[in-house]
Amino acid sequence: MLFENLDLNICPGDIIQIEGANGSGKTSLLRILAGLSLPYEGDVFFQGEPIAQIREQFHQNLLFLGHLAGVKGEMTAQENLEFNLALHGLDTSSAEETLCEVNLLGFEDALASHLSAGQHRRIALAKLWQSRAPIWILDEPFTAIDKLGVKKLEQLFLKHASDGGCVILTTHQDLSFDDDRIKKITLNYQFY
């Protein structure tokens, strides 16, 4: 058992950091909160309804970024962003602006498979600038990101929360937020 008796209320404006040692269940918890895995017991609710009963409505309000970037290596950086926008019925003309936000301008025509791990990750993280979803669930978003990129992401998280969204993330690094701005949940793995 990774965790039990977990009771969370996550509201607009919240930034929640799930922390704990490797293997403590952080990714499992995020997958349960995103409706990608089922809990052995209990339910996850969205606007008072179990997400299992309103799956489509819930997923329309959710952006989940996991360990796998969801970036197509055979597509260019710009094509990846345009595809994501088109998938959500949004205007694809903002892809270039988003590339600028994630410091990939100049690499728009490079195949994603030819880019570094950090550049590849930034293509995936660009979805944050493109998203209109109020709920962001992010598993280790700072992986392969430099200090300047981490700072920019933190600012984006604060803006998203201030605009009425919520951010739930895992990370092994300390965030530079004021203590009153972030809620931390620590998972303690115990051998049974």
Residues 98 and 141 in one domain: no
Q: Is residue 66 part of a domain?
A: no
Q: How far apart are CA 65 and CA 42, in angstroms?
A: 24
Range 136-140 average pLDDT: 96
Q: Is residue 28 part of a domain?
A: yes
Q: How far apart are CA 163 and CA 149, in angstroms?
A: 21
Helix (H, G, I), strand (E, B) or coil at 107: coil
Residues 45 and 95 in one domain: no
Q: Is residue 154 part of a domain?
A: yes
pLDDT digits (tens, 9 = 90+) for 73-131: 999 999 999 998 898 888 888 888 999 999 999 999 999 999 998 898 999 999 999 99
Contacts for 5-14: CB closer than 8 Å, 24+ residues apart = 6/42, 8/185, 10/166, 10/168, 11/166, 12/134, 12/161, 12/164, 12/165, 12/166, 13/161, 13/162, 13/164, 13/165, 13/166, 14/161, 14/166, 14/167, 14/168, 14/183
The pLDDT of residue 102 is 92
Residues 26 and 47 in one domain: yes
Residues 184 and 138 in one domain: yes
pTM assigned to the model? 0.92
Say if CB 168 and CB 16 are below 8 A apart: yes
Q: Is residue 96 part of a domain?
A: yes
Percent of the chain with pLDDT over 90: 62
For residue 150, the domain's CATH number is 3.40.50.300
Q: Is residue 29 part of a domain?
A: yes
Q: Is residue 162 part of a domain?
A: yes
pLDDT digits (tens, 9 = 90+) for 42-78: 899 999 999 999 999 999 999 999 888 789 999 999 9
Residues 53 and 147 in one domain: yes
The pLDDT of residue 139 is 95
Number of domains in the chain: 2
Residues 177 and 147 in one domain: yes
The pLDDT of residue 173 is 83
CA 170 from chain centre, in angstroms, equals 9
Domain that holds residue 159: 1-61+133-192
* Structure tokens, 119: 């550049």
Which residue matches tokens 């055979």? 74
The pLDDT of residue 110 is 94
Say if CB 137 and CB 17 are below 8 A apart: no
